[in-house]
Amino acid sequence: MSLQDPVTSPQIAMIHTVSGLIPLFDGLAKQHLPQWQGFNMLDESLLRGTIRDGALSQTTMWRLAQMVHSAIEAGASAIVVTCSSLGPAVDAAKLFCPVPLFRIDEGMAEAAVKLGLRIGVLATLRTTLDPTSNLIRQSAAQQGRPCTVIANLAEGAFQKLGAGDMAGHDAMVAQSLRDLAPKADVIVLAQASMARALALVQDELHPLPVLTSPELGMQHIARQLLQ
């Protein structure tokens, strides 16, 4: 049997709340963890409930913990949660999880605090903006680096995305990037769904670093699992 045989290869479970991002993470897992087998678990209601409630509820945190447990029962040797809004619930689940459990934005936060003092955080959801900002502060504290977080919400952009107006969403995110750029040494996009909008303004923002979570997150996970 080869190392990539699903019977013998270690497995990484990817827990999602947005179905459209599954192909992206499948590709990144194959690229950065070629000797691992990835499998996906999806529950869109975890994010929808968090948006509805305006914050993570105890019920949502418990339901995510149950998904983590299910992933372990399914044979996962590592787990990543790809929704940044669930970050605090991931941190809570780590306390009892017997396998490595990752937030997808951990790698992005580590990279951001190394690139500058003023870190702009852009999100289209308040429920993502606050957890990502707090994670960056935690990462800066762990690395012993000073950090000023400048948080900005692209108000209304997520609603356009939900209505199928991708162009409108991207335009709003792009304008928010322009507004935030003069205030920051580096900007992080708090949601993977925002990355496409970066192409609209990348040339305008150069050489300002703008970081996204999927690639940096999987690179970070690979370093932890393969060391």
Band of pLDDT at residue 6, cut at 50, 70 and 90: low
Tell me the DSSP string of 140-194: HHHHT---EEEEEE-TTHHHHHHTT-HHHHHHHHHHHHHHHGGG-SEEEESSGGG
Is residue 2 very low, low, confident or very high in pLDDT (cuts 50, 70, 90)? Answer: very low
Q: How far apart are CA 196 and CA 186, in angstroms?
A: 18
Picking from 172, 176, 177, the residue whose alpha carbon sits closest to that of residue 208 is: 177
What's the whole-number mean pLDDT along residues 80-102?
Answer: 95
Q: Measuring CA to CA, which residue among 198, 24, 211, 222 is closest to residue 108? A: 211
Of 32 and 2, the one with more pLDDT: 32
Q: Is residue 3's pLDDT more than 70?
A: no
Taking 90 as the threshold, does the pLDDT of residue 172 lie above it?
yes
Average pLDDT, the chain: 92
Which one has a higher pLDDT value, 164 or 11?
11
Domains of the chain by start residue, with CATH: 11-104 (3.40.50.1860), 106-212 (3.40.50.1860)
Stronger pLDDT, 191 or 222, i.e. the higher one? 222
pLDDT digits (tens, 9 = 90+) for 58-75: 999 999 999 999 999 999
Q: How large is the average pLDDT for residues 113-124?
A: 95
Residues 184-217: pLDDT tens digits?
999 999 988 888 888 899 889 989 999 999 999 9
Lowest mean per-residue pLDDT among 1-5, 87-91, 192-196, 223-227 = 1-5
Share of the chain above pLDDT 90, in %: 81
Q: How high is the pLDDT of residue 107?
A: 95
- Predicted pLDDT at 1: 33
Q: Output the pTM of the full model.
A: 0.91
